[in-house]
Amino acid sequence: MTRHLPTPDSYDYEWVALSDARFAPDTGLIRLSWPDTTMLDVHPTWVAENTPVTGYDTVVNEGILDVREAPTPSDVAAVTIDDEGALAVTWSDGGSSKLHPGWLRHIAENKHLPDSFLPDRVKWTPADLAEPISVDGSDVLGDSGALEEWLSALVGYGLARLVDAPTDPDFLLDLMKHVGPIRGSNFGDLFSVRIHESPDSLAYTGLNLGQHTDLPTREIPPGFQFLHCIENTVEGGWSRMTDGLALIDELQTNHADHYEALTTLDWVWFNRQHNDDHRWVGPVIDHGGPHSPVTFRAFYPVRSFPAMDSRDVSRAYAALCCLNDVAHDERFQMRFAFRPGDIVGFDNRRVFHGRDGFDPGGGGRHLRGCYLDSDDILSRTRVLRRRTQ
Ligand SMILES: [Fe+2]
């Protein structure tokens, strides 16, 4: 039965029958058409690579063809659609390929690209988002709908909160088992943000923490950070968040020279500790490659050396002053208190975070934190959203 054709993934595709398929020897491509005039050009070698059994292993859904041994356009004997509208190719050696037209259709609709099934990114300022979007976390381990809602808001806004989650200090570990592997760091897999007698970070004091992003000392800083409030009885210590996407808009529009300096002048980021020596060189606003998300490298405690022409250092500092002005501007900076049971997640490469100072002797404040890479957050979000869309 043609309609049971496997596809090289774990998803079910609606059967969208082709209306035509024809090979063009001059281009070496097969042109696929659907009744609504949607079209897709595919290469014969790629068709062979995506043929069940001969092109990919149908258990692990990974390709098995050595491209040197795969059919080429000159090996195409016939191209047609079968009785039910699937692509059917016959090869000159007598072999054949049959591909699911609904799976081909999802490629024609660009649903195979990384942004597929992810929410649109929504830029925000406190004027349109006064507090993080909040989702009931009381049963998040048993409610994949709550998890999907929270992760969707997290990916879209770069910031989202679970409220009323359990306050067990290890709950964050249990929750992340449903999301993805924790990305450890020199602060451990799960770290406690509270007063340390011998702090190795300003986070472990009661000092004000200016707006920043964590671990710019890494080639790829952690994608997302999670902070779980176990206890909070101190005065002050409010959390502050600034959306880097809104900040980029403001810099581009009103501070173009500073924006240019922030995106082009490099610094050495270096955690100068007894047993750790992480270093990376890059600009404060790192646009990376054409498919990379923006990465802010903005943690002044580890901004260690200018790595630029010495004549550029003055304008680099001026640009940092401007960045700090905008990042702390009330028009861009959201403020909220942590309550026990809150789990605040944020995109550490996009959203700046900071904290008001507090009196360490005035009560207890204990947050448990961890990082996850963006890849794992986005993967879990796609899996959850694909199942319900
Ligand atoms: Fe931080």
Q: How far is the CA of 160 from the centre of ligand 1 (A)?
A: 16
- Other C-beta atoms closer than 10 Å to the C-beta of 160 total 22
Residue 344: which pLDDT band, with cuts at 50, 70 and 90? very high
Mean pLDDT of the chain: 95
Euclidean distance between the first and final Cα of the chain, in Å? 26
Q: Percent of the chain, pLDDT > 90?
A: 87
Average pLDDT over residues 229-236: 93
Checking if the pLDDT of 1 tops 70, the result is no
298 Cα to the center of ligand 1, angstroms: 10
Output the CA angle 69-71-74, nearest 5 degrees. Answer: 130
As a whole-number percent, the residues of the chain with pLDDT over 70 amount to: 99
- Average pLDDT value for residue range 254-266: 98
| Ligand 1: centre distance to CA 12 (Å) | 41
Count Cβ atoms below 10 Å from residue 21 Cβ, excluding itself.
Answer: 23
What's the 193 CA to ligand 1 centre distance in angstroms? 10
- Give pLDDT tens digits for 72-88: 999 999 999 999 999 99
Q: At what angle do helices 144-157 and 374-388 cross, to 10 degrees?
A: 120
pLDDT class of 199 with cuts at 50, 70, 90: confident
Q: What's the CA-to-centroid distance between 389 and ligand 1, angstroms? A: 35
Residue 26 Cα to ligand 1 midpoint, Å, equals 58
Beta-carbon contacts of 363 under 8 Å, excluding residues fewer than 6 positions away, are: 232, 233, 234, 235
Which residue reads 């054709």 in tokens?
5
- The alpha carbon of 211 and the centre of ligand 1 are apart by a number of angstroms equal to 8
- Bridge partners, 15 (sequence order): none
CA of 95 to the centre of ligand 1 (A): 58
Question: Distance from the CA of 214 to the center of ligand 1, in angstroms?
Answer: 5
DSSP 293: P
CA of 63 from ligand 1 middle (Å) equals 41
Distance separating alpha carbons of residues 70 and 236, to the nearest angstrom? 65
Question: Across-strand partners of 282?
Answer: 267
Q: What share of the chain is helix, strand, coil (3-state, %, to 5)?
A: 25, 30, 45
Predicted local confidence at residue 273, as pLDDT: 84
Q: Residues 332, 125: contact at Cβ < 8 Å?
A: yes
Ligand 1: distance of its center to the CA of 368 in Å? 12
- Residue 249 and residue 274: Cα distance in Å, rounded? 39
User: What Rg do the C-alpha atoms of the chain give, in angstroms?
Assistant: 26
Distance from Cα 201 to the centre of ligand 1, integer Å: 9
Instruction: Name the most confidently modeled range: 166-175, 268-277, 286-295.
Output: 166-175
Angle between helices 313-327 and 256-264 (to 10 degrees): 110
Residue 61: which region, alpha, beta or left (left: phi > 0; alpha: psi -120 to 50)? left
pLDDT (average), residues 349-372: 93
Q: Which residue in the block uniquely carries the two structure tokens 């020897």?
A: 25
Domain with CATH 3.30.2020.30 in the chain: 2-108
From ligand 1's centre to the CA of 344, what distance in Å?
13
Alpha-carbon distance values, 347 to 165, 252, 374, 377, 388 (Å)? 20, 21, 8, 10, 24
Q: Tell how far the Cα of 196 is from the centroid of ligand 1, in angstroms.
A: 15
Give distance in angstroms: CA of 337 to centre of ligand 1: 16
Q: Which residues hold their Cβ within 5 A of ligand 1, which is an ion?
A: 214
The Cα 106–Cα 118 span in angstroms is 15
- Ligand 1: distance of its center to the CA of 215 in Å? 8
Of 157, 199, 191, 162, whose CA–CA distance to 179 is shortest?
162
Rounded distance between C-alpha atoms, residue 221 and residue 214, angstroms = 7
Confidence of residue 362 (pLDDT cuts 50, 70, 90): confident
Amino acid 361: pLDDT:
82
Mean pLDDT of all residues in 348-375: 93
Cβ(327)–Cβ(247) below 8 Å? yes
Choice among 37-41, 198-202, 231-235, 346-350 with the minimum mean pLDDT: 198-202
How far, in Å, is the centroid of ligand 1 from the Cα of 143?
A: 29
Q: 173: CA distance to ligand 1 center in Å?
A: 19
Nearest to 234 by CA among 350, 58, 88, 355: 355
If you measure from the C-alpha of residue 131 to the centroid of ligand 1, how many angstroms do you get, rounded to a whole number? 19
From-to residues of CATH 3.60.130.10 in the chain? 133-388
Distance 212 CA to ligand 1 centre (A): 6
What per-residue confidence (pLDDT) applies to 148? 97
Between the CA of 145 and the centroid of ligand 1 the distance, in Å, is 29
**From the CA of 225, how far away is ligand 1's center (Å)?**
9
CA of 10 to the centre of ligand 1 (A): 37
Residue 329 has pLDDT above 90, yes or no: yes
Q: 203 CA to middle of ligand 1, Å?
A: 7
User: What number is the average pLDDT over the span 6-13?
Assistant: 92
Is 168 in contact with 341 (CB distance < 8 Å)?
no
* 164 in Cβ contact with 138 (< 8 Å): yes
- For residue 197, pLDDT beyond 80: no
pLDDT band at residue 195 under the 50/70/90 scheme = confident
Q: How far is the CA of 354 from the centre of ligand 1 (A)?
A: 7
Query: Cα–Cα distances in Å, from 235 out to 240, 268, 364?
Result: 15, 36, 10
Distance 299 CA to ligand 1 centre (A): 8
User: How much distance in Å is there from the Cα of 41 to the middle of ligand 1?
Assistant: 47
Asked whether residue 350 carries a pLDDT value surpassing 80, the answer given is: yes
Q: From the CA of 242, how far away is ligand 1's center (Å)?
A: 13
* Beta-carbon contacts of residue 304 (< 8 Å; ≥ 6 apart): 267, 268, 269, 270, 272
Least confident of 38-42, 53-57, 194-198: 194-198
2-108: CATH, from 3.40.50.300, 3.40.50.1100, 3.40.1390.10, 3.30.2020.30: 3.30.2020.30
Locate 95 and state its tokens.
């072999």
Contacts of 49 (CB under 8 A, 6+ apart): 55, 56, 63, 65, 67, 70
CATH of 133-388, one of 3.40.630.10, 2.60.120.10, 3.60.130.10, 3.30.70.270: 3.60.130.10
Question: What confidence tier does 122 reach under pLDDT thresholds 50, 70, 90?
Answer: very high
Crossing angle of helices 244-254 and 256-264, in 10° steps, is 120
**pLDDT for position 2:** 67
Structure-token pair, residue 24 = 């063009």
**Residue bearing the bigger pLDDT, 201 or 383:** 383
